[in-house]
Structure 1
Amino acid sequence: MVAKIKFPDSIYRVLNYNENKVKEGCATLIHVSNFLQDKEDMNFYDKLERFQHLHALNETVKTKNLHISLNFHPTEKFSPEKLVTIAEDYMKRIGFSEQPFLIYEHFDAGHPHIHIVTTSIKADGTPIRLHNIGKYKSEPARKAIQEQYGLVRAEDQKELLKDVHSVNAQKVIYGKGETKRSIINVLDAVLKSYKYSSLPELNAILRLYNVAADRGKEDSRIYQKGGLVYRILDERGNKVGVPVKASSIYSKPTLAYLEGRFHENQALKAPHAQRIKTTIDWILAGQRQLSVSQLIVSLEKDGISTVRRQNATGQLYSVTFIDHKTKCVFNGSTLGKQYSASALQQRCTISIQAPAGQTPVLKPYILTTGNHVKSDDTALTVSLQQNQLSTPPTAVTGGLAPTASGIIEHLVQPEYSFQTPEQRRKRKRRKRPSDND
């Protein structure tokens, strides 16, 4: 079992989030504790007023709301009654058994989990101490409950421990699911997992799942107000369906939030740039003739997807690399001049210098066939190795060791050439002077 505790500022938003899940058929309220009414007799405002009444008893406390999730292994299927028993035991162990709390069972992820909404303000107005509650209360409670109920240990669920809120983000197909829910699933899986430092870099990832973050045109009101919406894209990259405002999503992935992530990710992803550069150099050095499409296929085998842009004439002018192993996104030009779209095109079309007396064979640039997205005078080609974030491509080629990078750079220099068999013949041995000379 994995337990996570959040301390939201607004009890209204937390309650509204879970109640909307119920309306959408993605959750069920399975238990209420320490309320004056049964769960069947309460509406949204009955639940809200119970918490607000306690909050009014102590307005000086800033952190008073708790939003807890208990997450179980996908193989563990429990009845609502068993989930309530586990939740009540957990709340007792962390000191909240006398507090009002609501238990919701959610069905919107790949693993069973419940959400608990409660407050730290007691009936006498005093607050429950929350400092290090995760370390000193929740963690011992979690381990004890695992043993008592024979649950799969969190230590054995590495993938679930990394991000219990992540879902199996599928490529969104318009009309096959509720728009907002589908977009949220992708955002939950991408925003905190990948390192991107600009909106175009973020969109490069989101496009793999047919989603886009849209600021609107520069003369639009949403752009001028610093707003942001999320859209579903069809297979040709056209925006379809109703846009979803970033501010309407519970996690608040607004432009202001993203700009904070851009700044933070800039430093975090910098150490991982070398892996992409080394992988590209290694692929190019290992082939005498290579097209751009072949380079891209080779990169995909090593877990690196690409998003390429071309103009109306088919000329490649931009390439973005998405490394699913390090979870980092880089525009080609930021990696260095030799990794820009134009440089890569040139490096792919120029073979290693041919032997003396022979004509070099140049491999023409071939744009991969795929999904071409028409947008004014440009087309976008998305290379996708995977549809699920939780299942990255299998690595079949490894990166070079740092000591080999210099050799690679030397090999791809224009002045380097191979010798012909004739040139490799041993020099004629000079006749040794004999004793008779």
Structure 2
Amino acid sequence: MVAKIKSGKSLIGALNYNERKVAKGTAKLIAAVRYSKDMDKLNFHDKLLRLTDLAAGNERTKTNTVHISLNFPNGERLSDDRLQQITQDYMIGIGFDGQPYLVYRHEDAGHPHIHIVTTNIKSDGERISLHYLGQNQSEKARKEIEVKYQLTKAEDQKLQKPDMKAGVKAADYGQEETKRSITNILGYVVRTYKFTSLPELNAVLQQYHIAADQGSKDSRMYARSGLMYWMLDSKGNKIGVPIKASSIYGKPTLKALEERFKLNATLRKPFKKNLIKVLDEMLKHPLTAQQLQKQLWAKGVQIILRRNEEGRLYGVTFIDKNNKAVFNGSDLGKTYSANQLATKLLPEPKQNRQTQTDDWSPTATDHGQSIRSQLLDVLFEAEQQDLAALNKFKRKKRKGLNL
């Protein structure tokens, strides 16, 4: 368990933060301690006035808001009752056992966590000191709770970081909380794949039913270099509510990704020559688009062909699954650009034209087994090289990457 304590001057701001999550359906109130009404009968003003009435008892203290989050690793699923017990023990441990407080369970991130909203002003107007609260009382309480409830120790988990070692599966809208699913997939893809542009990143993300979106070129989001992430349905259409890049763990914003693009341009270079060799060998003989896709897949390479409404090929992306490297066709050379490739591909037989798809994949069974194999086969040696290169790149920049 990891505890984070934030103090501030706005009780209404802390309460609003959690209530907005409740309104969106990504959080719920699971406890209202030392309130005169039952939890389900409290309205917004009831929740706020209980805290502000106490805060008004000490007008000299401006910092009267305490907003705490207790974070648990992926896989540690706790019932509401157990979370209430943990919260009670924690509040006693930090000296807030006599205070009213609200507990919200959040389901909007890549890890389970709760938020606690309270005030440090007691009923007699005395202020509870927040000095070294996190370092002293909170740490002691946290360790005792971990032992009592057999929780994963904070030292054994990375704060709020999704578990990528087991790989990830494609998003399935409605089966898992949207933000959590997007966070897990993004964390895995950004960490393991070497892409140098947003279209290349999307070529990978779309295999997991996720898409990064800048908005239309005349939109305010595009003008401000904003970025949103969507879930996609089985046909590639956007579905549900988009998630802001800045609200996702690691903050995969466009600015941060652009720094990653520069690094990946160097990291993917060693794999370019071999990919060209594989392509040259296959293009020696005339092939249809589907034949080329099937043969490349057998070599661990996925080719994504993009066509306009008239059927003209205008874009091609190669994903080297073995080395997690992504290349736009023209990056490999003019020979492999969409225009040149279109002149080499044979037309599909008439009986296949009805079912022809630009993004070919094996049968559902084979595809599922292949994806699982690829995700479990995270190349630890390649990741170590990535991290070493990333550290070297950081030293050259005043700002480090936040991915």
Task: Please tell me whether the aligned partners of residues 110 and 167 of structure 1 are also in contact (alpha carbons under 8 angstroms).
Answer: no
Task: Please tell me whether the aligned partners of residues 29 and 105 of structure 1 are also in contact (alpha carbons under 8 angstroms).
Answer: yes
- The amino acid of 2:217's aligned partner reads E
For 2:230 and 2:268, how far apart are their aligned partners in 1? 29
2:253 alignment partner, SS class = helix
Deviations 1:378-403 (A, max 9, x none): xx527696699998534499999xxx
- The amino acid of 2:81's aligned partner reads E
RMSD of equivalent CA atoms? 5.6
Task: Please tell me whether the aligned partners of residues 333 and 340 of structure 1 are also in contact (alpha carbons under 8 angstroms).
Answer: yes
1:393 alignment partner, SS class = helix
CA drift of 1:29 comes to 2.9
For 1:315 and 1:231, how far apart are their aligned partners in 2? 25
2:375 alignment partner, SS class = coil
For 1:121 and 1:110, how far apart are their aligned partners in 2? 30
Matched, 1:115 2:85: no
Aligned equivalent of 2:183, options 188, 198, 202: 188
Tell me whether 38-47 or 135-144 shows the greater mean CA deviation. 135-144
Partner of 2:257: 262
For 1:79 and 1:398, how far apart are their aligned partners in 2? 35
Partner of 2:306: 309
1:171 alignment partner, SS class = coil
Partner of 2:70: 69
Task: Please tell me whether the aligned partners of residues 229 and 243 of structure 2 are also in contact (alpha carbons under 8 angstroms).
Answer: yes
Distance 1:235 1:45, change over 3 A: same
Matched, 1:103 2:99: no
Distance 1:191 1:387, change over 3 A: farther
- The amino acid of 1:393's aligned partner reads L
Structure 2 unpaired stretches of 5+? 286-290, 383-403
Matched, 1:381 2:359: yes
CA drift of 1:264 comes to 3.7
2:148 alignment partner, SS class = helix
CA drift of 1:115 comes to 0.7
**In the TM superposition, what are the counterparts of 1:216-227 in structure 2 within 5 Å?**
216-219=215-218
For 2:312 and 2:265, how far apart are their aligned partners in 1? 31
Matched, 1:235 2:217: no
CA drift of 1:238 comes to 4.2
For 2:247 and 2:372, how far apart are their aligned partners in 1? 20
Partner of 1:147: 147
Deviations 1:266-310 (A, max 9, x none): 35545532464376368569989796424641464xxx7654424
Could you tell me the TM-score, scaled by structure 2's length?
0.60
CA drift of 1:38 comes to 3.8
Partner of 1:434: none
- The amino acid of 1:207's aligned partner reads Q
Could you tell me the TM-score, scaled by structure 1's length?
0.57
Task: Please tell me whether the aligned partners of residues 325 and 392 of structure 1 are also in contact (alpha carbons under 8 angstroms).
Answer: no
CA drift of 1:317 comes to 2.9
Deviations 1:43-65 (A, max 9, x none): 2332244455649957865x955
Deviations 1:53-92 (A, max 9, x none): 649957865x955341332664x66554333222222333
Q: Which has the higher helix share?
A: 2
Distance 1:399 1:232, change over 3 A: closer
Distance 1:334 1:143, change over 3 A: farther
- The amino acid of 2:333's aligned partner reads K
Partner of 1:393: 375
- The amino acid of 1:150's aligned partner reads Q
2:235 alignment partner, SS class = coil
For 2:61 and 2:302, how far apart are their aligned partners in 1? 51
- The amino acid of 1:20's aligned partner reads A
Aligned equivalent of 2:18, options 15, 18, 22: 15
- The amino acid of 1:236's aligned partner reads K
Task: Please tell me whether the aligned partners of residues 13 and 250 of structure 1 are also in contact (alpha carbons under 8 angstroms).
Answer: no
Percent of counterpart pairs with the same letter?
24
Distance 1:130 1:144, change over 3 A: same
CA drift of 1:319 comes to 0.7
Partner of 2:39: 39
Task: Please tell me whether the aligned partners of residues 210 and 229 of structure 2 are also in contact (alpha carbons under 8 angstroms).
Answer: yes
Tell me whether 380-389 or 312-321 shows the greater mean CA deviation. 380-389
**In the TM superposition, what are the counterparts of 1:126-205 in structure 2 within 5 Å?**
128-129=130-131, 133=134, 140-152=140-152, 162-163=161-162, 170-172=170-172, 182=178, 184-195=179-190, 198-205=197-204
Task: Please tell me whether the aligned partners of residues 212 and 231 of structure 1 are also in contact (alpha carbons under 8 angstroms).
Answer: yes
For 1:4 and 1:388, how far apart are their aligned partners in 2? 39
For 1:80 and 1:345, how far apart are their aligned partners in 2? 57
Distance 1:387 1:155, change over 3 A: farther
Task: Please tell me whether the aligned partners of residues 73 and 160 of structure 2 are also in contact (alpha carbons under 8 angstroms).
Answer: no
For 1:6 and 1:369, how far apart are their aligned partners in 2? 60
2:254 alignment partner, SS class = helix
Q: How many pairs does the alignment contain?
A: 354
- The amino acid of 1:309's aligned partner reads R
- The amino acid of 2:317's aligned partner reads V
- The amino acid of 2:202's aligned partner reads N
CA drift of 1:204 comes to 2.9
For 1:42 and 1:50, how far apart are their aligned partners in 2? 11
**In the TM superposition, what are the counterparts of 1:245-394 in structure 2 within 5 Å?**
251=247, 258-270=253-265, 272-274=267-269, 276-277=271-272, 280=275, 292-294=292-294, 296-298=296-298, 300=300, 307-311=304-308, 312-313=310-311, 315=313, 317-319=315-317, 321=319, 330-332=326-328, 336-337=332-333, 341=337, 381=359, 392-394=374-376
For 1:337 and 1:49, how far apart are their aligned partners in 2? 67
Distance 1:193 1:58, change over 3 A: farther
